[in-house]
Amino acid sequence: MKLHLDTDLGGDIDDLCALAMLCKWPGVELSAVTTNQDDRGRRAGYVRYALNLGGKPDVPVAAGADPSLGCYRFFPGLPDETRYWPEPIPPAPGPLDKALDLLQDSIETGAIIMGIGAYTNLALLEKRNAGSLEKANLCLMGGHVFPVPDGFPQWDYAMDWNIEIDTQSALLVLERAKPLLVPMTVTLQTWLRRADLPALRQAGSLEQIIAKQAEAWTEDHRMDTRFGLTCSGLPNDTINFQHDPLACAIALGWKDGIEIEEIPVMSEIRESWLRQRVDPAGKPTRVVTRVDGAKFADFWLKLVTS
């Protein structure tokens, strides 16, 4: 099974958690990895470094859309490299067309296209090669169709980073493609927790970096005290949410505790924000509506530390 990963790895640590999982998933071939919201190739450099540690040095990597395009709501920069990575990592800049070519090739060869960042590269490909997205086997992390259930952070649509950071691209992709959406309202029901760190530290080099980044992330974001101790659905020692690993697992067919429904979804931009709602006039869209967070946390940890 082939999978193309389009990622903003280098910020939120769940992208690295997803990549580590894909490197261990039996029978999965990474056709390529492209980056979005890149910073002169820094994210692409991190991807190459991680793939080398994960035993996948031959996977093609290309830096995609960056802030110079002027399409992002804002650009947050990247965390302090000295705290998140074990050594300086050289950037891997390159022409945008290389990333779009890799995406096109992956679509043509039938790979799953997994979007776990902004949808910018996908939109740019559709603008360059009209009709590409209609043929894509596409899964996207993002969306805010339903409210977040009780017991989890009550985030609204404005917190849906992957869609709201570049709403014009998101709307184009949602209109032209037939994606499976793994919405934020579901991924907020998953977790990486402090109790997972000893097993990660005893695993391979890539998993040890996840543990290192988890410690730094905890210092920077304090999700344990902000959410773990205040949300009844989360463990007290929650470090982060596993948005991207969950989306990748579902794209690859993981179904334990998962429910998917086809729902008519209306997507539109209002006052610069992309808003979604269930509407009979909306586009029929496959949406993940349920997850068992504890089952997924156990599955992810066992796989990446195997």
Residues 6+ apart with CB under 8 A from 159: 184
- Among candidates 7, 13, 17, 120, which has minimal Cα distance to 59? 7
Strands 112-116 and 259-270: unpaired
Going by pLDDT thresholds of 50, 70 and 90, the confidence category of residue 75 is confident
CATH number of the domain to which 177 belongs = 3.90.245.10
pLDDT at position 76 over 80: no
Residue whose pair of structure tokens reads 């610069």 in the numeric block: 272
Helix (H) or strand (E) holding 114: strand 112-116
Rounded Cα–Cα distance for residues 185 and 289 (Å)? 8
Q: What does the pLDDT read at residue 3?
A: 98
Residues 6+ apart with CB under 8 A from 132: 103, 104, 107, 125, 126
Going by pLDDT thresholds of 50, 70 and 90, the confidence category of residue 77 is confident
Instruction: Please state the pTM of the whole predicted model.
Output: 0.97
pLDDT at position 65 over 90: yes
pLDDT at position 144 over 90: yes
Do 84 and 210 form a contact (C-beta atoms < 8 A)?
A: no
* DSSP one-letter code for 133: G
Instruction: Locate 24 and state its tokens.
Output: 């261990």
pLDDT at position 56 over 90: yes
CA distances from 240 to 94, 176, 190, 210, 228 (A): 31, 32, 8, 12, 9
Compute φ and ψ for 231, nearest 5 degrees.
-115, 120
Compute φ and ψ for 100, nearest 5 degrees.
-65, -35
Q: State how many domains the chain has.
A: 1
Report helix angle 293-304 to 14-24, nearest 10. 60
Q: What does the pLDDT read at residue 181?
A: 98
pLDDT digit string, tens, across residues 154-175: 999 999 999 999 999 999 999 9
Domain that holds residue 207: 2-304
